[in-house]
Amino acid sequence: MKSIESIEEWNQLTNNGNVIALFTAGWCPDCRIIEPVLPEIEAKYPEYTFLEVDRDQFIDLCAENDIFGIPSFLAYKDGKESGRFVSKDRKTKEEIMTFINGLPR
């Protein structure tokens, strides 16, 4: 999973192709719980570019996208938001995969 380093990088990556962004933070225990399953999820969905966005580093980006709880996921297709799985609740591998399976192709 690629970690975003700048807003410019965010804009470039989310404007091209299929992207799933994970909003997270180092201090978030629910974020740490899903970390072990993320490589498996990435491998199952090679048609997506997976990005990691540090909530503390990009708080303005979170506010712009109404991300007030983490871990949260936003999906983009060619620059437009195509889905969101946003809440402060812990997410399971099954819930994340159900979210991705429900995205428009």
| Dihedral sign computed on CA atoms, order 63, 65, 70, 71 | negative
Q: Are 77 and 18 in contact (CB under 8 A)?
A: yes
* Catalytic residue from among 19, 28, 67, 75: 28
> 11 to each of 19, 41, 80, 82, how far by Cα in Å?
11, 23, 11, 15
Q: Are 22 and 73 in contact (CB under 8 A)?
A: yes
Told to judge if 62 belongs to the known catalytic residues of this protein, a careful annotator would answer no
* Catalytic residue from among 20, 31, 38, 96: 31
Told to judge if 28 belongs to the known catalytic residues of this protein, a careful annotator would answer yes
Query: What value does the CA radius of gyration of the chain take, rounded to a whole number of Å?
Result: 12
Active site residues: 28, 31
